[in-house]
């Protein structure tokens, strides 16, 4: 006989405040879930659960997204319409803007943005507003899992508070609560939701077991940890590790450039070492919704405990200074052509924050465009995956700007092309033939015959 959430048949797994906790539900009970936020994290997760036999209700505040998905269409480049249609047609997946339907499901997975505010402080308002919205419809015995990257304590303190206040239920007694960090890697064909190990932490042992049971339906390997805080900290460590190492190689890029050494050649030589080295690559700055943001969630929270994360903050300073270094290199390149940045026509090649994706969130290309524009340049961009710039919080003034066309006449009309993103679909041989001057921040021109054009590395 299955136990209900208030039946403490295994009191030895009880937790905080002496409350009795639920015994874990068996996996076959988790057959009906809702995923809140149908973006780069929530949509692929939804489709994987649907593919695994779980009935999924996708919830989003954007009716355009909802309508597209219910028609079997995709708005994310690396997710095919066929993948959406395969989930929609048999009825395994449907989308809605009606959050009252949370009352229909056994589990709710929250995948909403966690940006920084204008003071570079954590903004968890999307998490809290989602919690307040779903709380009145939360079923007794349901599981709520947060996947949004955040500081340790968000799940068991902030989210828990709004869920309990809005539902009248108690976490760990009347409903389950857990955290499982997303590990999406857009643009990487080898990155599949089912094959990426899933870290899971629960408010109580029973919460953990139910969350493990849920993800076990869709993911091959589930990694349980002792608490929500550990799971939250795990995600931050993963991205801080990348941020610090990228900062290191960005700093070395500047140093080696002054020495006349190609940092890309150095990295390629160093990575032949079969132990003790992991290759990271320099760039024009950090982009995306993880590395530029996540470290600051920890630095902010650490101050609450009287701790100062100097190493992390230094890495952030180095990475955020990279666009300024790149613009200096642009100025040097134009000077060699007897031109100044002011009045020059400059094409930024690549708006997306990384290769072969259509996600331009926090892209350093925006910063480069701003800096060049402030110095008097006429700035345009080309990106095959971002035909028109959507409104953003930090750079709303570029909204509506369209990508130029890719043809010889257009490319030749620019004084300089600045490669900010290395999309594999771009014909760099044509670029070498058509461009007057190139500044390459991604080593995209390596192996290309550039005898007819001067290429500067930045």
Which residue pairs from 369-372 have beta carbons closer than 8 angstroms and sit at least 24 positions apart in sequence?
Answer: 369/395, 369/398, 370/395, 371/323, 371/324, 371/327, 372/327, 372/330, 372/341, 372/346, 372/348, 372/418
Beta-carbon contacts of residue 1 (< 8 Å; ≥ 6 apart):
none
Q: Does 262 map to a domain? A: no
Which neighbouring-strand residues pair with 34?
57, 108
Task: Spot the catalytic one: 111, 207, 228, 290.
Answer: 290
Phi, psi of 192 (to 5 degrees): -120, 140
* CA gap 271, 291 in Å, rounded: 22
Q: Does 254 map to a domain? A: no
pLDDT of residue 329: 97
307 shares its domain with 388: yes
* CA gap 175, 202 in Å, rounded: 12
DSSP E strands in 43-181: the ranges are 55-59, 93-96, 107-110, 143-146, 176-179
Q: Does 2 map to a domain? A: no
DSSP E strands in 67-139: the ranges are 93-96, 107-110
Q: Judge contact between 423 and 355, C-beta under 8 A.
A: yes
5-16 confidence digits (pLDDT tens): 333 333 233 333
151 shares its domain with 210: yes
Length of the chain: 458
351 shares its domain with 422: yes
83 shares its domain with 136: yes
216 shares its domain with 274: no
* CA gap 98, 96 in Å, rounded: 5
197 shares its domain with 281: no
Instruction: Provide the residue-wise pLDDT of the chain in tens; the chain has 458 residues.
Output: 333 333 333 323 333 333 333 333 444 467 899 999 999 999 999 999 999 999 999 999 999 999 999 999 999 998 999 999 999 999 999 999 999 999 999 999 999 999 888 778 899 999 999 999 999 999 999 999 999 999 999 999 999 999 999 999 999 999 999 999 999 887 777 778 999 999 999 999 999 999 999 999 999 999 999 999 999 999 999 999 999 999 999 999 999 999 999 999 999 999 999 999 999 999 999 887 777 788 888 999 999 999 999 999 999 999 999 999 999 999 999 999 999 999 999 999 999 999 999 999 889 999 999 999 999 999 999 999 999 999 887 889 999 999 999 999 999 999 999 999 999 999 999 999 999 999 999 999 999 999 989 999 99
* CA gap 41, 45 in Å, rounded: 6
Residue (of 425, 405, 285, 430) closest to 347 by Cα position: 405
288 shares its domain with 220: no
* CA gap 144, 228 in Å, rounded: 12
73 shares its domain with 180: yes
Q: How many CB atoms lie within 10 A of CB 187?
A: 19
pLDDT of residue 2: 32
Domain boundary among 168, 192, 226: 226
* CA gap 160, 103 in Å, rounded: 18
pLDDT of residue 119: 78
| Euclidean distance between the first and the last CA atom of the chain, given in angstroms as a whole number | 66
154 shares its domain with 272: no
What is residue 122's DSSP assignment? B
* CA gap 326, 312 in Å, rounded: 22
What is residue 437's DSSP assignment? E
H helix runs in 89-197, sequence order:
125-134, 160-167
Q: Does 72 map to a domain? A: yes
Q: Does 324 map to a domain? A: yes
Structure tokens at 276: 């003790």
175 shares its domain with 86: yes
Q: Judge contact between 239 and 246, C-beta under 8 A.
A: no
Q: Measure Cα distances from 161 to 49, 57, 127, 168, 171 in Å.
A: 28, 25, 12, 10, 9
Structure tokens at 283: 């760039």
Catalytic-residue membership of 290: yes
Structure tokens at 209: 């077991």
**Counts for the chain of helices (H) and strands (E), in that order:** 13, 13
Number of domains in the chain: 2
Query: Which residue segment(s) compose the domain that 322 sits in?
Result: 268-457
Angle at CA 303, nearest 5°, toward 300 and 309?
A: 75
Q: H or E segment at 416?
A: strand 416-419
Q: Does 261 map to a domain? A: no
Q: Judge contact between 383 and 347, C-beta under 8 A.
A: no
Domain boundary among 176, 198, 226: 226
Residue 272: CATH number of its domain = 3.40.50.720
Per-residue buried b or exposed e for 266-294, using 16+ beta carbons within 10 Å of the residue's own CB: ebeeeeeeeeeeeebbbbbbbbbbbbbbb
What 3-state DSSP class applies to 220? Answer: coil
Domain boundary among 226, 258, 280: 226
Q: Does 1 map to a domain? A: no
* CA gap 104, 106 in Å, rounded: 7
Phi, psi of 420 (to 5 degrees): -105, -30
Q: Judge contact between 97 and 68, C-beta under 8 A.
A: no
220 shares its domain with 275: no
Q: Does 348 map to a domain? A: yes
DSSP E strands in 222-275: the ranges are 222-225
391 shares its domain with 313: yes
How do 55-59 and 93-96 pair as beta strands? parallel
């Amino acid at each position: 006989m299955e136990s209900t959430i208030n039946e403490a048949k295994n009191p030895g797994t009880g937790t905080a405040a002496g409350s009795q906790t639920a015994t874990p539900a068996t996996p076959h009970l988790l057959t009906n879930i809702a995923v809140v936020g149908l973006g780069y994290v929530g949509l692929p997760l939804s489709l994987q659960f649907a593919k695994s036999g779980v009935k999924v209700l996708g919830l989003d505040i954007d009716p355009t997204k909802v309508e597209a998905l219910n028609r079997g269409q995709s708005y994310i480049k690396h997710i095919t319409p066929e993948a959406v249609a395969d989930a929609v047609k048999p009825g395994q997946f449907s989308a809605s803007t009606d959050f009252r339907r949370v009352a229909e499901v056994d589990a709710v997975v929250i995948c909403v943005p966690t940006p920084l505010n204008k003071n570079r402080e954590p903004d968890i308002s999307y998490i809290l507003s989602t919690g307040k919205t779903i709380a009145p419809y939360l079923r007794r015995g349901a599981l709520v899992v947060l996947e949004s990257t955040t500081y340790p304590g968000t799940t068991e303190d902030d989210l828990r508070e709004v869920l309990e206040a809005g539902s009248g239920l108690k976490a760990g007694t009347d409903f389950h609560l857990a955290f499982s960090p997303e590990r999406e890697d857009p643009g990487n064909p080898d990155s599949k939701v089912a094959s990426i190990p899933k870290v899971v932490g629960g408010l109580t042992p029973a919460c953990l077991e139910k969350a493990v049971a849920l993800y076990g339906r869709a993911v091959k390997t589930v990694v349980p940890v002792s608490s929500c805080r550990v799971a939250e900290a795990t995600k931050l460590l993963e991205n801080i590790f990348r941020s610090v190492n990228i900062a290191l190689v960005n700093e070395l890029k500047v140093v080696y450039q002054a020495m006349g050494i190609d940092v890309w050649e150095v990295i390629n030589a160093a990575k032949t070492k079969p132990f003790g080295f992991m290759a990271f690559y320099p760039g024009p700055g950090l982009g995306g919704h993880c590395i530029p943001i996540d470290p600051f969630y920890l630095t902010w929270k650490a101050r609450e405990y009287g701790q100062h994360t100097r190493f992390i903050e230094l890495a952030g300073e180095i990475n955020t200074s990279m666009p300024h270094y790149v613009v200096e290199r642009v100025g040097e390149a134009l000077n060699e052509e007897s031109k100044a940045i002011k009045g020059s026509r400059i094409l930024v090649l690549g708006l997306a924050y990384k290769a072969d994706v259509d996600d331009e969130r926090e892209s350093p290309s925006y910063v480069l465009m701003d800096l060049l524009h402030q110095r008097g340049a006429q700035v345009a961009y080309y990106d095959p995956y971002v035909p028109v710039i959507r409104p953003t919080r930090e750079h709303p003034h570029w909204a509506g700007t369209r990508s130029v066309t890719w043809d010889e006449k257009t490319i030749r009309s620019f004084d300089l092309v600045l490669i900010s993103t290395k999309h594999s679909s771009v014909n760099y041989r044509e670029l070498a033939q058509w461009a007057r001057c190139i500044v390459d921040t991604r080593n995209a021109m390596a192996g290309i015959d550039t005898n007819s054009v001067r290429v500067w590395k930045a």
